[in-house]
Chains A and B, each alone.
Chain A
Amino acid sequence: MDLHSRNIPFQIDRQANAKNHQLWINLGVSLSLIISLAIGLISFLNLYVFQKTYKDLNIARLSVVARDLRETVEVGLNLGLSPQSNTELDGLVFSIKEKTEGLRFLVIIDEKGSQLNHAGAVSSELEWAKRLDGNSWTDEDNESYQVGLPFRNNFGIVVGAVIIGYDKSALELAVNAMRNSLVIDWLYAVGAVFVTMLSGVWFLTIQLQRDLDITEKVLEHTFTEKPYDVSLPVLGSDIKEGLTDFVRISRNTSKELARSLEIVSKS
């Protein structure tokens, strides 16, 4: 006999209740979805953190290359060699492009923004001449992130810049690989969350489910059975007393009205 329905002569029809909303499923699934959303958000934000840090580190790495090249250009200028007449530069530019991972292009411009030496697919969308204010800069277009380092002649006047472009697709490759790893971990976590939450919620709500089953049965039998003394430990004594009064008053009122109607119909 069910502990909480010992005073009830009818049995809880589990089959019928299965048709009702199953509390533990509704609650377990909803809570699991919230947690899944939260940890999905963590993974999404972490991916962004990774992307940003990875990009910054690569730009720092490529800045080394740009500084190196700028130094070569400035050494040439000190010797009176403009970048156009510095025969070593072309070879150096190509050599750096070949040896440096993720480098999309490398270009040397003069003070008007005209390209003097270059290697790789140089971006043509940006107006570099406008950036020649003496400070280094970073920029981006659809294909690349760029670092620009201006160089100066013997008089300290900015006469051009070295610009390197980091291939966005190289970053995307790394980010995609990281995304896949994070998604797989998220899926593992979601699986574990659903199993844990559903079983945990089921366990925690067993008694509430019983209380609701009993209350529902009592309500269903309002007009057909005598009021029963029930125990509702989870719903509490307030609900228990309210239920008893509700059933009693409804039943008595219904009986009284039925009797009156019966008298009328007989007469």
Chain B
Amino acid sequence: MTKLLRRLLLFTLLVLVLSSIFVSISAGKYFEASLTEQRVSEQREVARSVIATIEKALTHGVPYEKFVEAESYLEIDNKNNPGVDYIALTGPDKKIIYSSDIAQLKGGEALYQALSEMDVGSEGRRIGDYFNISIPIDLKGETVGWMNIGAEANFVEQILFNIALDILTVLIVAALVAFQMLGPMLTLLFSTPLKGLKTVFASVAAGDFRNYLHPDFIGSVGRLNRSINNIIARVNQQARAANNAALELPKSLLFDLAATHSYIRLESVELIRWPFFLVIFSESLSLSFFPTFVGHFHDTLFGLPRDIMIGLPITLFMLVWTVSMPYSGTWCDKIGYRRAFGFGAMMTTIGLVLTAFSAGLSDLLIWRSMTAVGYGTVYVTTQAFIINKSPASERTRGNAMFQTSFFAGSLSGAAIGGILVDRLGYQLTFLLSGTLSLLSALYVIWFLAPGVSNTIKRKFALIDVGTAIRNREFGIITILAAIPAKIALAGFLYYSIPIYLKGLGYSQSLTGRIMMVYGLSIILVAPIVAKLADQRTDRLQFVVFGGFIAALAMAVPDVFQGTTGVILSMIGLGVGHAICVSAQMTLINDRCGVLVEEVGQASTIAIFRLIERTGSILGPIIFGTLITFSSYSYTFAIMAIFSMLSTSIIAFFLSSFAKRVPLFQKS
């Protein structure tokens, strides 16, 4: 069956890639034709402007060959129009009479020569490294000369290259969305019903006829459920008849004598993947335009500068999200995953819908806080669900799935949100976000079984944070592995890289694309590494190895200059975090069983996330301070050394501690 699933997945990916390439190449061809023409028309516009002046002089009787200061006029015009590299006027004999300073251009002499010898015509053509347009200069219907205007020929290639990058980005986003849908779908069609069959067969083999399979509406393997249920129902019916007739039933067998018809509800971690992705996606839709949206609520009553006011809802969201997580975690342990996730997604929905109708800054702050509570609840519940429902042998893979879904949702949501808001406006985009979040709530209510986690349930108290930190393994993993990872993420990736690239003169869109490499590296590498990690008994090696890679990655821009260094650094940081971040959570579960028992599964996760977030707060402050008082290269080197040291300390201490027995050893 695994072989079949793999084949189906590969086949689907093959068709997806081929069809995506077809629509992308086809779009690229249309763009090339249309946009090149538009770009050339800028050159034509400059030419028209110059020719108008020349023709005016000619109509005033100034001979074409005797213009005064024509070359300086052309030079000024050339400089005023960044899309033009040279302007040259030739006589009817094609010899150049006036021109801007062609000699200072790259290959200027050859260009000068070529312009003097070429056959003129109104069509654009390539001359060496330049794209040239020739336009006739007419006086009373007679051509007295030609105007040649040109720009570096690679402007067309540059446009096409940028479009190709955009198309590639789009292709990646679409593939991420499709992939997030494929996994849960194949699980619903194959893995879960197959697990159901195995469970009911095992149950009957143990003499228990009390469990039925849930009615199947999808088809595939689940179509057997009806026949199996009919058999069990018939045996139970006979058993009830025998029981009613006061006959003694076989002692080794169990029957559904009360006709309760209880169903086996099967849960796979894949079940929560799609709704989690949807919530992250829906919230991330506003990432790209949120500051602009907040800008509309600039309210002088608050007396805050505009920039601070814009940052306020974002900071509040992060704060509420962080603070609410431990409480949400305890609550999730108490009421169960289905209700907690459903509540979280509903809160997110309400928050997003009300954000769409915000009338002022105070409204907005309330609705964003509400969204943050919902978002935090979904975040913690999902992670707790994955850890609780994954067998110990697959727990790192579960965490990697959580990580990949989070980044896939954030990346694709941010990429699509900016486009949607341009087309739909703020209000409709927020309403769409709310609808997606609502869909995830409905999905979870439908597919997830009710029930609570099997850890202890008690109210969260701040003292739990102290208890957690006092647990030496928890303290070391959180403070020396999780916090530095967040410092690198927030300080290096989100804070330093954009300003570093801006300083190097790169555009915002290129910066965005380069930063995407980090998320993509995680999405691609995390599942593979997690599989390896699950085959090992101790995930410490992964936390250490990933930590070292992430540390080295921060120093890469010091070695390789420009975009090459930054891209390599993004890949390194992504790979490093893919290796260590998923393993951190599993390592805590492996090593801190006593703590989990004491404060609860979801609460432990929430406390871990809460402490970890101090790294997100400290990151920009540390990097900002170091950059201010030193330079980028020193900052990157210092932080790389800091990360190396913290990782080395973890390796030393955790290797020396005896391994604790994990609490949740599931098979």
Partner-B contacts on A (CB < 8 A):
20-23, 26-27, 30-31, 34-35, 37-39, 41-46, 48-50, 53-54, 57-58, 60-62, 64-65, 67-68, 71, 99-101, 174, 178, 181-182, 185-186, 189, 192-193, 196-197, 200-201, 204-205, 207-208, 212, 215-216, 219-220, 222-223, 234-236, 238-239, 242-243, 245-246, 249-250, 253-254, 256-258, 260-261, 264
Contact = CB atoms under 8 A, between A and B. Distances in A.
A200 B15 contact: yes
A42 to B, nearest CB: 5
Contacts of B173: 41, 45
A192 B42 CA distance: 40
A23 B45 CA distance: 61
A104 B19 CA distance: 40
- Which 3 pairs between the two chains have the least Cβ-Cβ distance? A21-B219, A242-B201, A219-B227
Given A20-B223, A38-B175, A48-B419, A64 B81 contact: yes
Nearest to B22: A189
B202 A42 contact: no
Given A64-B81, A236-B1, A45 B42 contact: no
A38 B20 contact: yes
Contact of B163 (A53, A58, A189, A243): A53
Contacts of B48: 99
A21 B223 contact: yes
Given A31-B12, A253-B250, A204 B221 contact: no
Contacts of B177: 37-38, 41
Contacts of A258: 238
B205 A42 contact: no
Given A67-B81, A200-B15, A256 B250 contact: yes
15 contacts: A21-B218, A26-B220, A30-B189, A37-B177, A38-B16, A42-B20, A45-B170, A48-B422, A53-B159, A208-B1, A220-B227, A234-B1, A234-B4, A249-B205, A249-B207
Interface size class of B (residues with CB under 8 A): 35 or more
Given A27-B189, A38-B177, A204 B7 contact: yes
A216 B30 contact: no
Contacts, number: 237
Looking at A20, A42, A99, the one whose CB has the most chain B CB atoms below 10 A away is: A42
Given A45-B170, A48-B419, A53-B35, A61 B41 contact: yes
Nearest to B30: A181
A61 B38 contact: yes
Contacts of B242: 257, 260-261
Interface string B207-249: 1010000000011110110011011101100110110010101
Given A30-B185, A212-B223, A261 B167 contact: no
B19 A35 contact: yes
Contact of A50 (B31, B42, B194, B416): B31
A7 B81 CA distance: 84
Interface of B: 1, 4, 7-8, 11-12, 15-16, 19-20, 22-24, 26-27, 30-31, 34-35, 38-39, 41-42, 45-46, 48-49, 80-81, 83, 159, 162-163, 166-167, 170-171, 173-175, 177-178, 181-182, 185, 189, 194, 197-198, 200-202, 204-205, 207, 209, 218-221, 223-224, 227-228, 230-232, 234-235, 238-239, 241-242, 245, 247, 249-250, 253, 415-416, 419, 422-423
Contacts of A57: 35, 38-39, 41-42
A53 B163 CA distance: 9
Contacts of B235: 250, 253-254, 257
Nearest to A239: B197
Given A38-B174, A254-B235, A260 B247 contact: yes
Contacts of B419: 44-45, 48
Nearest to B81: A64
B37 to A, nearest CB: 9
A39 B218 CA distance: 25
Contact of A182 (B23, B197, B247, B423): B23
A173 B200 CA distance: 61
Nearest to B202: A242
A261 B238 contact: yes
B219 A23 contact: yes
A141 B363 CA distance: 28
A30 B8 CA distance: 12
Contact of A39 (B12, B20, B232, B250): B20
Given A42-B171, A45-B419, A257-B239, A245 B204 contact: yes
A40 B83 CA distance: 34
Contacts of B1: 208, 234-236
A204 B3 CA distance: 10
B20 to A, nearest CB: 6
Contacts of A71: 80
Contacts of A219: 224, 227-228, 230-231
Contact of B11 (A200, A216, A238, A245): A200
B12 A185 contact: no
Contacts of B4: 204-205, 207-208, 234
